[in-house]
Amino acid sequence: MFNTFFALGATALELGLISSLTVLALFLSYSMLNVCDLSTDGCFTLGAAVGAVVAISGHPYLSLGAAICAGMVSGFVTAILQTKMGIDSLLSGIIVNTGLYSVNIAIMGGASLLNMNKTETVFTKAKMLFAHSFIGPQYRLVVVIAIVALVLVLLTWFLKTRLGLAIRATGNNPDMVKSSSINPTFTTIVGLCLSNSLTALSGCLLAQSQKSVNVTIGSGMVTIALASLLIGRAFMGKGGIGKRAVGAVLGAFVFRLVYTIALRFNLPAYMLKLVSSVIVIIAIAGPYFKQRLPELKRIRDASKGERHA
Amino acid sequence: MLELIDVCKTFNPKTIFEKVALDHVNLKVQDGDFISIIGANGAGKSTLFNAICGSFLTDSGKIILDGEDITFKPDHIRAKTIGRLFQDPMRGSAPGMSIEENLALAAGHGGWLSKISKADKEAFRERLSLLDMGLEDRMKQPVGLLSGGQRQALTLLMSTFNPPKLLLLDEHTAALDPSTAEKVLELTKKIVDDNHLTCLMITHNMQSALELGNRTIMMHHGKIIYDVSGDKRKGLGVADLLGQFKKAAGKDLDNDRMILV
């Protein structure tokens, strides 16, 4: 019994941490830059595809760097569309997402599925490395925890630098950024390049963890990540940047945990996306109705009063 | 110092919404001038500021600041030498970020990857204490928690942190209650004097238009219709200004939003 729970927890932790990189990407683009980046799904797959192709060609470590670079390029295109070409930010994301579908299949050599069963990945490397140490079977977790911790530290540090402050201000009050002699176009480009590089890294890790890439591996990621982000916000509240970033990671883990438990109770796997949609709806509509509750009450009371009178 | 040469701007040209906002405006501002600008709504006062700041490209004419032609410079580049305050106190600062972080962006010290240093914090604390609003003890709090007056005072501090060549004040006290407005105006005067800033101020208060600064200009339908300074200005009263307006504009003021204080 305990072992089953432990195994479930470890799986949820691993998958949660992998997707937490996408959640951190949305933390940067959605919470900081105030851009809802709808190219997330395509970019996640892009990272998975590029990472897989590079890993299959025999470079497991390089695959992470390649995925990060590919994500940056994708983010750059999305940013250029919305800052330099007059395309609405939501629409730019959708356009890039659509385009990426073809790009991703092209990267996978025209196939919609790549198998990495015999490929050396960062996980197999870690397995060999830790084979005789106390870490032993938990090598997968170690890899993911190390990467997420590194990203978390770097991101928190970055958001407190001048460039990070400028990116946060761009989402908060673009007028103010301009009057501080900073070009908001520049900060938007940097912000989206960084966030998309994290999304791609996330995709790359998931592909290597499950040893295969499907062209639909990223579909629905934006909603799942948004749900996790909002769960994290509910747990951690407003607080400082570091606390909120940790909240994002925690949210990703909680989301996965709830989902894993649901699967144990025979919820079919295909329900994942509906669950994430519902969570996003509750997380965004909840506070809205909570805020309107006194108003609604007053309207109801007033109409009651009329009936009595 | 600042020179506008034959500057024109028409919004929605060749449509039924066509609006000539700046009509061959010529203006020469001397170093250290404090100019108050008055005029009815839609006279082109804010458009004049937008043209100077680079919010849009003018249709024709030249804008020269300190001998440098800035006509085609983008707005964020001009912001290095031009500070601006709006009527809306919410417009000049980022509500979700702390006072300290807002000031750090305004100060713009160090490279992109530098963090707020101890010396920076000391400098911010010192400047904030000049406002006499107790903000120096709330540097970690988000700006969104401040009142309108406090935010406008902070914006004033931010836009003059690195003294600009030119400070543009667009009715920056109009949204504040009278006593706060007075306080912010006092601060403005102090900061302008201390840093010897050249300043243009839009106001609807004709009394303060005449009291503040050394020169007053009046705009109407995108043109500068009256420009007074020196001894001639000293003897002027609000009634004289209104008389000038009627004479130059050729119509009654009844419909206009000028406050006759």
Contact B95 A172 (CB under 8 A): yes
Q: Is residue A168 part of a domain?
A: yes
Cα distances (angstroms) measured from residue B239 to each of A260, B106, B132, B207: 79, 41, 36, 10
**H-run or E-run covering A225:** helix A221-236
Q: Is residue A155 part of a domain?
A: yes
| Predicted TM-score of the model (pTM) | 0.90
Residue B260 clears pLDDT 70, i.e. is over it: no
Interface of B with A in 62-91 (CB under 8 A): 74-77, 79-80, 83-84, 91
CB atoms within 10 A of CB B16: 5
Cα distance from A238 to chain B (closest Cα, Å)?
Answer: 10
Residue boundaries of the structural domains of chain B? 2-95+163-260
Burial A207-233 (b: 16+ CB within 10 A, else e): bbbebbbbbebbbbbbbbbbbbbbbbb
pLDDT single digits (tens) A180-233: 899 999 999 999 999 999 999 999 999 999 999 999 999 999 999 999 999 898
pLDDT single digits (tens) B120-138: 999 999 999 988 899 999 9
Cα distance from A62 to chain B (closest Cα, Å)?
Answer: 26
User: What value, to the nearest 5°, has the Cα angle with vertex A131 and ends A125 and A132?
Assistant: 145
Considering the four listed CATH numbers 3.40.50.720, 3.40.50.300, 3.30.460.80, 1.10.1040.10, the one that applies to the domain covering B2-95+163-260 is 3.40.50.300
Structure-token pair, residue A25: 């990407």
Average pLDDT on A112-120 reads 93
pLDDT single digits (tens) B11-27: 999 999 999 999 999 99
Average pLDDT on B140-144 reads 94
CB atoms within 10 A of CB A170: 26
Structure-token pair, residue B242: 């209104």
**What average pLDDT does chain A have?**
92
User: What span, in angstroms and rounded, lies between the C-alpha atoms of B169 and B53?
Assistant: 12
Any CB–CB contact under 8 A between A115 and chain B?
no
Provide ipTM, 2 decimals: 0.87
Query: What is the pairing mode between strands B215-220 and A212-214?
Result: unpaired
Across the interface, which of A158, A160, A165 has its CB nearest the CB of B105?
A165
Interface of A with B in 284-303 (CB under 8 A): none
User: What span, in angstroms and rounded, lies between the C-alpha atoms of A61 and B22?
Assistant: 61
Q: Is residue A182 part of a domain?
A: yes
Contact A175 B92 (CB under 8 A): yes
Q: Is A304 exposed, middle or buried (0-12, 13-18, 19+ CB in 10 A)?
A: exposed
Q: How is residue A38 annotated by DSSP?
A: T
Strand partners, B83: B167
| DSSP secondary structure letters along A247-301 | HHHHHHHHHHHHHHHHHHTT--GGGHHHHHHHHHHHHHHHHHHHHHHHHHHHHHH
Across the interface, which of A158, A163, A169 has its CB nearest the CB of B97?
A169
Q: Is residue A307 part of a domain?
A: no
- Work out how many CB contacts closer than 8 A connect A with B: 76
Q: Is residue A238 part of a domain?
A: no
Average pLDDT on A123-132 reads 88
Domain tally for chain A? Answer: 1
Cα distance from B146 to chain A (closest Cα, Å)?
Answer: 16
Q: In chain B, which residue's Cα lies nearest the Cα of A166?
A: B105
Q: In chain B, which residue's Cα lies nearest the Cα of A174?
A: B94
Average pLDDT on B232-253 reads 78
Cα distance from B205 to chain A (closest Cα, Å)?
Answer: 26
Across the interface, which of A162, A175, A181 has its CB nearest the CB of B104?
A162
Mapped to the 3 state alphabet, what secondary structure does chain B carry? CEEEEEEEEEECCCCCCCEEEEEEEEEEECCCCEEEEEECCCCCHHHHHHHHHCCCCCCEEEEEECCEECCCCCHHHHCCCEEEECCCHHHHCCCCCEHHHHHHHHHCCCCCCCCCCHHHHHHHHHHHHHHCCCHHHCCCCEHHHCCHHHHHHHHHHHHCCCCCCEEEEECCCCCCCHHHHHHHHHHHHHHHHHHCCEEEEECCEHHHHHHCCCEEEEEECCEEEEEEEHHHHHCCCHHHHHHHHHHHHCCCCCCCCCECC
Structure-token pair, residue A158: 């970055």
Q: Is residue A240 part of a domain?
A: no
CA B241 to chain CA centroid, Å, is 21
Contact B76 A160 (CB under 8 A): no
User: What span, in angstroms and rounded, lies between the C-alpha atoms of B34 and A223?
Assistant: 55
Residue B258 clears pLDDT 70, i.e. is over it: no
pLDDT band at B259 (very low <50, low <70, confident <90, very high): very low
Q: Is residue A250 part of a domain?
A: no
Using DSSP's 3-state secondary structure scheme, residue A213 falls into strand
Any CB–CB contact under 8 A between A160 and chain B?
yes
Contact residues, chain A, for B164 at CB < 8 Å: none
Contact residues, chain A, for B169 at CB < 8 Å: none
pLDDT single digits (tens) B184-195: 999 999 999 999
Contact A180 B112 (CB under 8 A): no
Q: Is residue A74 part of a domain?
A: yes
Residue B227 clears pLDDT 80, i.e. is over it: yes
Contact A168 B74 (CB under 8 A): no
Contact A162 B94 (CB under 8 A): no
Amino acid at A116: M
Any CB–CB contact under 8 A between B97 and chain A?
yes
Contact call for residues A161 and B52 (beta carbons, < 8 A): no
Contact call for residues A52 and A104 (beta carbons, < 8 A): no
Any CB–CB contact under 8 A between B118 and chain A?
no
Where in A105-201 does DSSP place strands (E)? 113-115
Residue B234 clears pLDDT 90, i.e. is over it: no
pLDDT single digits (tens) B33-79: 999 999 888 899 999 999 999 999 999 999 999 999 999 999 999 99
Cα distance from A84 to chain B (closest Cα, Å)?
Answer: 14
Q: How is residue A85 annotated by DSSP?
A: S
Any CB–CB contact under 8 A between B93 and chain A?
yes
